[in-house]
Structure 1
Amino acid sequence: MNARILLALFVIFPVSALAQGVDKLADKLADLRFEGRIEASMRSQVANSVNGFLTDIHFTKGDRVEAGQLLFSLSSVVYEHQVNAAQALLDRRQIELAQAEANVERVSKLEDRGTATQVQLEDASARLALAKVAVDEARIGLDLRKLELASTTITAPIAGYIDSPRLTRDAYLKTETGKPLAEIVQVDPALVSFAHPYDSLLELHHAAPERIEEYLDRFAVHVTLPTGERYEQTGKVAFVGTELNSDGGLQVWAEIPNPEVILIPGLQVSVSIELKK
C-alpha cells in the first residue's frame, strides 16, 4: 500500500478502545453523502524530442489511442543521412583499430628481436588505446543518431482519448519551444474526488477500529449521476490527501471503472460509501 496513504491514515485513525462492531460502522456509512467531481486518472502531453517538419498526423480529435500507437511523423531524411554517416565513421574507426592491433603485434615481435625499441612499443600501444577509445566514441555517436531517427516517429505514451493536434502538417517543430503537440486523457478507470469530514472519519474509526493497512479495503464507493441514476460500476478508495481543506475535510480519491466513458472529467456527482459485502 502507498506509504503516503498509510501516513495520512496513521494521523487520522489513532488506535481506539471504543470498538462497537461493524454493524454500527455500516449504519453510519449508509447516511453519508458527498459532493464529488470526476477526474481523469492520468494525463500525458505528447511532445517532440527532435526538430523537423511535421509530415503526417495519424489520428483525429477524440480518437482512443493505445500506448505505443503512432501519432505523428517527422521528416526523417536528414536523420537517416546522419545515421549513415555515423555508421561509416564507426566502420573507419574499427579498421583503424584493427591496424593498431596489428601494429602492436608487429612492434612487439620486433622488440623481442631487438630491432625495435621499448619506446616504439609504448608508442604503438598508446595508439592502440586511442583507437579503442575512438571506436567506443563512434559507437556511442551511432547510437545517438539512431535514437534521433527513431524520435521522428512520435507515439502515444499512455492509452486514452486524444485531443486535437496543436499543429498542422508541414509545420516545423522545435524542441526548445516546449509546446505539446497534443494531450492524452485516460478516463478508464476514472477518479472521483470528494471531501470526507474529519470528525466523521474519527467516528467511523471509533465504531470499528482495525489495522490501518486494512482500513481502506473495507469501503466500496458508489456514484450517482446528475440525472439521479446510480452508476452501475463500484469503485474503491485509491488514495487520500495529507492535509485538511478549508472546510475541515480530507480529500479522498476513489478509482472507478469507466469502460463506456459515462464518467467525464469535470462531471459533478453524488458519492456514497458502504462496507464491502
Structure 2
Amino acid sequence: MKLSDRILAAAVGLAILAVAACTESQSSANPPAAPPPAVSIVQVKAEPVPIVSDLPGRIAPTRIAEVRPRVTGIVVKRVFEQGSLVKEGDVLYQIDPAPFRVQVESAQATQQRALAAQNLARQQADRQKELRQRNISSAQDLDTALAQLAQADADVAAARAGLDAAKLNLQYSDVRAPISGRIGRALITEGALVNANGTENLATIQQLDPVYADFTQPSAQMRQLRKALKDGLLKGPAEGQATVKLLFDDGSEYPRPGRLLFSESTVDETTGQITMRAEFPNPDGDLLPGMYVRVLIEQAVDQAALTVPEQAVQRDSSGKALLYVVGEDNVAQMRPVTVGRTTGQQVVITGGLKSGERVVVEGFQKIHPGAKVEPADWKPAADTLSRTQSKADAG
C-alpha cells in the first residue's frame, strides 16, 4: 500500500471517531426524561361501616347455687363425682336417715292416736245430739261433745301436718342438686356434721351453658353515641339485633356469636362506667366463670363513612395524619386529614377527604408533594385481605 493511501485511511478513521465522540457527548448532555413513578391507589367511596366497640368483660355463670343441707345430721355418703355435670334433683350427699325414719314412725303413731280420739269424739257428739232431741240431755252436754269433736279434728290435722313434716325431713336427708350444671369440688367429707341453720356450703353448682359476659363502657362514650343516633348521623341496630362477639385474652375469636341482654340504667359513681350483659352459648365449656374477655359489640352503623387502608395514613413530626391524594392530572399532593376509629385494617377518615378521590396506598416513598405519578389500582395481599375480612366479620 502506498503511503498516501495509508494516510487517507487514517484520516477517515479519525473522522469516524470524532463523529462518534460528538454523538456520545450530545447524548450525555441531553438524557431522556425518566418515567413518573408507579403508585398503588384506592378510590374512596362512602359506604356503610359498623361502629364496633371493643370493651373489657368477664364471664359469669347464668345460674349459680350453693348446695346446703336442709336438715341437721351426719353425712354418710358423697354420691356425685367432683367436677362433673349434674342434673336438677340428682342426689349429691346422703345424711344419716335413721333419726328421720324414727320421727316418721312417731308421727304416724301420733296421727293414729288422734284419729282414734276423733272417732270417739264423733260418736259422743252423735249420741248427745240424739239425747238432746229426746230432751234427755242438756244443751251444755251437747255443746261440750261438739267442742270435744272439734278439738279432736284439730288434733288430727296437727298430727297429719307433723307426719308430713317428718316425711319431708326424711326426704331432705338426701341432699339433691337445686339446679342443673357443673358441680365443683366437695367442701365436706363423709362423717361431717352438717347443720340446717349453719352457714357451711357443701358444694357449688354453676350453669355454664349458656354463660353471661358482663362488660362495661364509659358513660361519656355511650352518651355521644346516643346523641349521634338521635341526630340521625348514625343508624342503630333493631331491637335485640345488636351483634356481639368475644375475643379471648390471646386475641383469638370465640366462634359463637351472642346477644345483648340489657345495659344498666345507672352509672358506677367510682368508675363512670355503665355495665352491660350479653349471653353466649357454651356447649363445649370453653368459657369459664371469671375469664377475662374482650367484647365486640356493634352499637350503630355509619351509613356514609370514608375509609382508607391503615398503611396509607402518614404522620408528620407533630403526629398529624396525612394522605397523598392524586388529582385528575395524576399529580400527588400531601393533604392533612382527620382520622377516626379503626375498623379491621381500614381507618375511617372523618375530615379532609371527599368521596371519589384517589389516595396513594403504596409507593409514596418514591414521590414528593407535586410529583407526577403513574397510578394503578391497589391489590391487597392475601393475608391482609383475610385479616380485614375476619375483622369485618367480627364487627
Fold conserved (TM > 0.5)? Answer: yes
Amino acid at match of 2:263: V
Match of residue 49 from structure 1: 70
Task: Name the residue aligned to 1:251.
Answer: 275
| Aligned residue in 1 for 2:200 | 179
Q: Which residue of 290, 296, 314 corresponds with 1:272? A: 296
What letter corresponds to residue 273 of structure 1 in structure 2? I
Larger radius of gyration: 2
Alignment match of 2:246 (pick from 223, 226, 250):
223
Q: Which residue of 1 aligns with 2:312?
A: none
Over the matched positions of the two proteins, sequence identity in percent amounts to 28
Higher relative contact order by CA 8 Å / sep ≥ 6: 1 or 2? 1
The residue type equivalent to 1:44 in the other structure is A
Q: 1:60 aligns with which of 49, 62, 81?
A: 81
**In the alignment, what sits opposite 2:384?**
none
* Count of matched residue pairs: 250
Q: For each residue in 1:217-272, what CA deviation from the matched residue of structure 2 results, as whole angstroms up to 9, or x when unmatched?
A: 13121001123221111111223223223342211111111111101112211111
Q: Secondary structure at the match of 2:120?
A: helix
Quote the residue 2:51 is aligned against. 29
The answer for unaligned runs of 5 or more in structure 1 is: 1-22
Shift of 1:173: 1.4
Give distance in 2, aligned partners of 1:220 and 1:197. Answer: 19
Deviation for aligned residue 1:57:
0.7
**Structure 1 residue aligned with 2:265:** 242
Question: Are 2:161 and 1:137 aligned?
Answer: no
What is the CA–CA distance in structure 1 between the aligned matches of 2:106 and 2:215, rounded to whole Å? 58
Pairwise CA distance, 1:128: 0.6
Distance change in 2, residues 1:41/1:165 (3 Å): same
Q: TM-score, normalised by structure 1?
A: 0.83
* Shift in Å, 1:192: 1.1
Cα displacement (A) at 1:275: 6.3
1:127 Cα offset (Å): 0.6
The structure with more helix, counted as a fraction of residues: 1
Counterparts of 1:135 and 1:226 in 2: how far apart (Å)?
A: 66
Structure whose residues are more often strand by fraction: 2
**Aligned 1:112-123 pairs, distance under 5 A:** 112-123=133-144
Relative to structure 2, which stretch is displaced further, 135-144 or 241-250? 241-250
Q: Give runs of ≥4 in structure 1 deviating > 4 Å.
A: none
The DSSP-based 3-state class of the residue aligned with 2:151 is helix
Among 115, 118, 124, the residue aligned to 1:103: 124
Rounded Cα–Cα distance in structure 1 between residues aligned with 2:272 and 2:147:
72
CA-atom RMSD in angstroms: 2.3
